[in-house]
A and B are shown apart, each in its own frame.
Chain A
Amino acid sequence: MSKKNNHRRDIAAETKKPPLTQQKVQISKKEKKPLSLTTGASVCIAIIVTVTVAVLGVYHLIVRNSDMLYMAQSKDFFSFDSTFRADCMHTPGGFISWVSSFLTQFFFHPSLGASIMVVIWVVSIWLSKFTFRVKMAWMAVLAIPAVCLLVSTIDTGYWLYYCKQTGYWFYGTLGYLFTNLLVLFHSCFKKKFNCIFVTFLIAVTYPFLGWYTLLALLYVAVLSLCHMKTDDSLASKMLLPLIPLVLIGITPLVCYQFYSGVRFEDMWMAGFPFFENDNVTSFTPSIPFIVLAAVPLLFPFLPKKVENSTGMTWGITLVTTAVLVLSWLWVEKSDFQNYNYHAEMRMYRAAEEQDWDKVLDEMSNIPGDASREMVLFKNIALMNKGEMGTKMFKYNNMGEPPTNGFDTLRVHMVQTAAPLIYYYHGKTNFALRWSIENSVEFGYDYDHLKILARCALVNGEMEMAKRYLNILQSTLYYRDWAERLMPITEKPELIKKFKEFDSVRELRDHMGTVLDGDNGLCEMYLLTYFSQTMNKDSKLLQELTLNYALIQKDIQLFWPRFFLYAQMHQGEPMPIHYQEAAILYGNLEPESADISTMPFQEEVKKSYEGFHNMTQSLLQAGLDSDAIGEATKSTYGNTFYWFYFFCRDVHSY
């Protein structure tokens, strides 16, 4: 067809006049028809929003929270085994848990896991555009749920250790994706009967998607209301929004008969994350999920036609800018950037990998006081490097209990790091105990399974080790770790070839056994146990007992362990902290031991005298204890005597 012909036909069409009444209607339409915002501008907005969300995600997840993401995956578990799948499906929404746990394992490489997450967010944003038939110009509003998901990933703080939702980290992301897919699927059907049928189909997904199915039904109801036409029959006007609403009420009710392990009242919120334990309920981390659910309810009401008017352009620009700026502010505010929180995770990983230098580097870099967990890991690192006696007090030994700030969650070391801490102290039974206690409460995870396997190997419980290693062998990222150790279960003597077990085995093998209990306080237990233990068969254990006696600041416990150390290390130089303690205690309680003949290093003697003189003069100047501690810290903060006098009010937890 030539252009000429086309033109002629257009002219013919223009010259053919419609009847008068129709003419009026057409004129009126022409006058009212708005000019849409240019497609280019809309695309620009959409791209800017998408890129902004992606950049925000990448920055906050990969740049600022890699350590957290790694820890998150280590506190999760996935296996293709049917037992795990059945466990997931034990509650409504179990399918999301299962897929989510599958994806969470990719946080082993935080960049990979984060990238997958961001891609799903971007897909969800664009899906919601089609699901809710929203113009690209409103992309910023469509991006709010993705921002909520980002916030929900980085705002948990110490709830990371207390989260009981299997696959929490991807749960909301996948839930929102599936919700969009369900609603989009529904919107593909135009005939009333089909719509109703599909609505029922959506309800059937409840066992798999839990609360997100109900959310999808809610969106379907709202969309049905919005898409209602004036010439629709009253029945369809009523039924289309009413059926999904009724299904929201009755689906969990009907399904309750199939779930023996869910409270009746929880059926409507199955899969919605609540952050609570026996002493605190925290609302803050749930906020993103509430916003996530609520915001899409507005999508159908966003203007379907975007005029190319100055007002509209400004409006959209303003909304887009406001959403992006507020999102950025919210994400910034929610990102839990407590230094110790992240440093603990890095230290934990380094300790778990026995990278002792990295543990000590982390400890050196702490800007304020460490947490007790970090102090313990620092001591473990020094013990393994044989440097406790020379460096233990050169680090900041003050320790504060971790807090979320936004709530009153009480963090207990037994639930964060005690299993690994006990393990490195040779207390494999206690490490096993707390690994199991935590697994009972929060579910088995890679981290605890590794500790359980290690403890079983050190204990010589090879069948048990094999079970845990078998489970880890079925995972994606811990298979190699498990395969490396598996031969020990067949030939127990092989354990001697694995240096990583040496210190743990030595400590464990030389300990006695008693009936005991830690009352949930790991550090206090270790302090009491080791400071009161005497051992002359293992240099490692003996030195540990001496060091714990130092930390206890107990003169009576110190001397026998000090003399035993000297006896077991004849011909070797006496580490500086032990000299410092001996000089201090010898001066404080001369009757406890005669130090006059002890060959102290000159610099130690001078240092002590300097410290003594300085504190005395500051005391005479009227300074109180805290002020003296501060004044002497820069010069003597790395000595035992400074620790003895000024490292106080340490709260173990």
Chain B
Amino acid sequence: MACGQHLTVPSDVTLESRLPKIYPDYTEVTIPVNICPLNFAVQEGETDAMARFTFPGGEFIYGDGQKVLIDEEQWKEMLESAKGKEIKVEVFAKVNGAWKGYQPFNIYVAEDSIDEYISYRAIQPSYVAYERLSINQRNLTNFDEQEIYNNMSVSSEKVGQCINCHSYKNYKTDNMLFHMRQGYGGTMLVSNGELKKIDLKTDETLSAGVYPSWHPTHNLIAFSTNKTGQSFHTKDLNKIEVQDTESDLILYDVDKNEVSIISELDDELEVFPTWSPDGKKLYFCSAHFEYYNDSIEKSAEMIQRYKEVKYSLYSADFNPDTKEFSNVEMVYNAADSLNQSVTLPRVSPDGKYILFSQAEFGCFHVWHADADIYMMDLKTKEVQKLDAVNSERSESYPTWSSNGRWIMVDSRRDDGNYTRPYIAYFDKNGKAHKAFMLPQKDPNFYTFYLRSFNRPEFMVEPVKITPQEFAAKAKEDAIPAKYADK
């Protein structure tokens, strides 16, 4: 069986009064008008299945064994025709030689489009070892995917390299960055299309820049600096704790190649800076943590007291012209009031909301099954858990599309181990709709793909610098950043 009009729905069908089991679960989801086909596998029966898609302009039937593979051109036709409406999907499966029909479901087509690209780091859910890592970009309107950078383009057995934390200014790629650690370490920074390799570590700062956020209007980047450690649960299914024994915030002036301190308070672990859309506020997370055991190393004490580390959400006013920070205030007291820990804040493009990940403790919520996505209305300060986006497993790294209508989160709901990007519609009334998994051409792709989609970010355009150009630059010496005293 293949696609399209040649198939006919079997006439002798026993109807089931329940939704079909399909993977990924696309039942009752709201999708962008420009998304690629939502191919899925029917997990009913053993051999054949098909699905009838009914939309205002007609109907199409697809089936390929147990897979429903939708023709891309016909899918575009369906989306255009169902814009602002829904597509009705009826699934049929052959079970023990007889056809069964299941309760139909709808796919709602929003009038809003989604940014054409996302990028993510493809990484095994690794602990310490690393080998092949890449930052990939995926076109959401089709299934095209390319590598932006692959560490194996410079790594050798003697000189391995880890890459992390890609970031873009205003969803565009002429100003972007990612870090490289170990061999050929440094920050790959694209400024107005020009590629540079910078060493952000100075004698006065804890580390090189780690978690970044590009200022929306000026050529500035806020980073955290972190001393990070990792330890392993002997039995707990969270398996890993990643902790910062120390962390501060720094500001990097791209034009001047200068690093200055934003915050380096003793007993405070400041991390995850993110700018408001107007660039006049910097939001960040901070945990108050006092070391009181001088007889052991900080990392050892942190391991003993890891559950005590709880982050709250703060903001600081910022004057982009003077680069002065002032008026630090607590925005959400998760640590003391709720005994919770918030991380990874991201402000909506209209500045009305802030998303973050919240769990019982710690800063690395991708390994915390209880981590969920919450949203604060910045005007009313009201916080709500986004049930439509969350699952029983870890949700972390929330981010907004450039038009603010789509939320993307990293979720481990599939199996608790591999993070996958889930996209949810966020309507004009501030309501999040059921999230759907990033569609793939082969619906069984995720079964065999043993890597996580780490730190998914929206982009409105692809990265134009080739992986080979990045590789050539990576081999050059990094330009050391200067330290600018306040």
Interface residues of chain A, those whose CB is within 8 Å of chain B, are: 79, 81-84, 164, 256-257, 260-264, 274, 276-278, 281, 427-430, 432-433, 436-441, 444, 459-461, 463-464, 466-467, 470-471, 474, 508, 511-518, 529
Known: A262-B152, A278-B160, A440-B126. A511 touches B235 (CB 8 A): yes
Could you say which residues of chain B place their CB within 8 Å of the CB of A263?
A: 152-156, 471
Could you say which residues of chain A place their CB within 8 Å of the CB of B241?
A: 515
Q: Nearest chain B CB to A509's CB is how many angstroms away?
A: 9
Since A278-B157, A518-B232 are in contact, a sample of 10 more A-B pairs with Cβ atoms closer than 8 Å, ordered by chain A residue number, is A260-B147, A260-B467, A427-B234, A436-B125, A461-B417, A464-B417, A467-B414, A467-B447, A516-B231, A517-B232
B448 within 8 A of A: yes
B233 touches A463 (CB 8 A): no
Interface string of B436-477 (1 = CB under 8 A from A): 000000101101111000000000000000111001100000
Q: Nearest chain A CB to B315's CB is how many angstroms away?
A: 32
**A106 to B306 alpha-carbon distance, docked (Å):** 48
Known: A440-B130, A470-B447, A471-B447. A257 touches B416 (CB 8 A): no
Q: Nearest chain B CB to A272's CB is how many angstroms away?
A: 14
B303 touches A261 (CB 8 A): no
B234 touches A430 (CB 8 A): yes
User: Which residues in window 413-429 of B have CB below 8 A to A?
Assistant: 414-418
B416 touches A461 (CB 8 A): yes
Measured as residues with beta carbon below 8 angstroms from the partner, the interface class of chain B is 35 or more
**A269 to B434 alpha-carbon distance, docked (Å):** 49
A-B pairs, top 6 by smallest CB distance, nearest first, are A260-B467, A513-B235, A261-B150, A463-B415, A83-B448, A464-B415
B85 within 8 A of A: no
B294 within 8 A of A: no
B235 touches A439 (CB 8 A): no
Interface string of B343-366 (1 = CB under 8 A from A): 000000000000000000000000
Q: Nearest chain B CB to A641's CB is how many angstroms away?
A: 33
Could you say which residues of chain B place their CB within 8 Å of the CB of A438?
A: 129
Between-chain CB contacts (< 8 Å), 19 pairs: A164-B131, A260-B146, A260-B149, A260-B153, A261-B134, A261-B147, A261-B152, A263-B471, A264-B153, A428-B235, A460-B237, A461-B415, A461-B416, A467-B418, A474-B448, A508-B235, A512-B235, A513-B234, A515-B233
The chain A residue with its CB closest to the CB of B155 is: A263
**A516 to B239 alpha-carbon distance, docked (Å):** 10
**A441 to B427 alpha-carbon distance, docked (Å):** 43
B132 within 8 A of A: yes
Interface string of B101-124 (1 = CB under 8 A from A): 000000000000000000000001
**A444 to B146 alpha-carbon distance, docked (Å):** 23
B158 within 8 A of A: yes
B291 within 8 A of A: no
Q: Nearest chain B CB to A535's CB is how many angstroms away?
A: 13
The chain B residue with its CB closest to the CB of A511 is: B235
The chain A residue with its CB closest to the CB of B158 is: A278
CB < 8 Å A-B pair total: 134
Could you say which residues of chain A place their CB within 8 Å of the CB of B157?
A: 274, 276-278, 281
Known: A260-B149, A432-B239, A433-B127. A84 touches B132 (CB 8 A): no
B468 touches A257 (CB 8 A): yes
A514 touches B234 (CB 8 A): yes
User: Which residues in window 396-432 of B have CB below 8 A to A?
Assistant: 414-418
A429 touches B233 (CB 8 A): yes
Interface string of B224-257 (1 = CB under 8 A from A): 0000000111111101010000000000000000
The chain A residue with its CB closest to the CB of B450 is: A444
B296 within 8 A of A: no
**A82 to B69 alpha-carbon distance, docked (Å):** 15
The chain B residue with its CB closest to the CB of A91 is: B152
Could you say which residues of chain B place their CB within 8 Å of the CB of A83?
A: 445, 448-449
Could you say which residues of chain B place their CB within 8 Å of the CB of A256?
A: 468
Known: A439-B124, A440-B129. A429 touches B232 (CB 8 A): yes
Could you say which residues of chain A place their CB within 8 Å of the CB of B132?
A: 261
